[in-house]
Chains A and B, each alone.
Chain A
Amino acid sequence: MSSQNNTMKKDKKNSFNTPEGYFESFNDRLMDRIRKEETNEAGSIIPKTDGFAVPNGYFDEVTPTVLSKINTKEPKVIPLKINRRLYYGIAATAAIFIVMFSLTWESNPEPLTFDDLANAEIEAYFEHTDLEMTSYEIAEVVSLEEIQLNDILGDDLEDDIIMEYLDENVDDIEELNLEDIDYD
């Protein structure tokens, strides 16, 4: 303990010196260095600008362009002040429309089905909708056991359709390499 005290006393008496104002400016210099390191300014070879430019006057056009889009896309507000005669007129028209619609509806018993969707519409849906799933992810969600061949084909294949297909497309029945094996 006494030797430690002696060392400290020696240090206080030592001949080391610091530049004038060193400790007063220490905080500023430290903060400056931290800031430089954070923004990577210290001797970095990374350029300070990235070279992008915009057409002349572009930023002046942005506001009117955005505002015009907002105005055209905003649905028009219709005032609710309508007089009684107009109200009866609208009600009568609506009643006629409902009667005609229900008659037309009954005369057309065919419900809309998946087949009524045009292929182009289905393709457009998959093209423009961000499903955010890869085919691998879809395969993970839908297990193989849940998928039947008929889910893809739509209708069961009749035997005569299979025979007709083979008749038209297979020249030599031997190509099928069928053997009369009884698996029972």
Chain B
Amino acid sequence: MIAEETLVQELQRGESRPKAFEVLVNTYKERLYWHIRRIVLDHDDTDDVLQNTFIKVYRNIEKFKGESKLYSWMYRIATNESLTFLKQKSRKMGISDQELKDKMVENLQADVYFEGDEIQLKLQKALATLPDKQKLVFTMKYFQEMKYNDISEALDTSVGALKTSYHLAAKKIEAYLKEN
């Protein structure tokens, strides 16, 4: 696997850019897909947002100064793209953000690419009740098994605040699952 620093240098140099970008997409497509999927829930929407994320990365790579890890920087773009996508979707549908979240979970029952059972559907319902930040922290830690330092860079939040968010989210989800 190519070192991140080398990859960034090649991405910022004209002649090696296309090849380096292909390496970048191959390296991060799955991780970013699952990150986006856990925010927008639907596969086709995730595919759109994932492509937009990579296009944004390609167009802005020259502005990347290396102050954070490339991986965290891309997570930040993917997170922003996903949240913006949801905001635009709720506006187009003329419903509130919460109504959209509830609708997205409702749609999972008929989604051929959702193979979850009753408890996993309840988990999604519980996640839909959380504030965006808590949901993000929880899924990044619990399902994507990211380190707090990496989440901290991606979400621009201190590790202490992330730990608090994570524990609050876990308690709320557990309480929801017990009640329902």
Contacts and interface: CB of A to CB of B under 8 A. Distances in A.
A21 interface: no
B119 A47 contact: yes
A5 interface: no
Given A51-B116, A55-B43, A62-B50, A70 B143 contact: no
A81 to B, nearest CB: 18
B114 interface: yes
Nearest to A131: B91
A69 B54 CA distance: 10
A45 B88 contact: no
B21 A67 contact: yes
Given A45-B177, A66-B25, A52 B113 contact: yes
Given A46-B170, A47-B120, A50-B143, A66 B113 contact: no
B67 interface: no
A172 B62 CA distance: 72
B87 A63 contact: no
B18 to A, nearest CB: 8
B15 interface: no
A59 interface: yes
Contacts of A53: 113-115
A58 B145 CA distance: 23
A70 B174 contact: no
B98 interface: no
A39 B145 contact: yes
Interface residues of B, number: 44
A63 B26 contact: yes
Given A50-B120, A50-B123, A59-B30, A40 B170 contact: yes
A54 interface: yes
Interface string B128-165: 00000000000001110100000000000000000100
B43 A40 contact: no
Contact of B22 (A45, A49, A63): A63
A46 B123 contact: yes
Nearest to B123: A47
Interface of A: 38-40, 44-47, 49-55, 58-59, 62-63, 65-67, 69-70, 73, 127-128, 130
5 contacts: A38-B166, A51-B120, A52-B41, A55-B113, A62-B33
Instruction: Report, nearest first, the 10 A-B pairs whose CB atoms are least far apart.
Output: A51-B116, A51-B120, A66-B54, A62-B29, A53-B113, A40-B170, A63-B25, A53-B115, A51-B115, A47-B119
Interface of B: 18, 21-22, 25-26, 29-30, 33-34, 37-38, 41, 43, 47, 50-51, 54-55, 58, 84, 87-88, 92, 113-117, 119-121, 123-124, 141-143, 145, 163, 166, 170, 173-174, 177-178
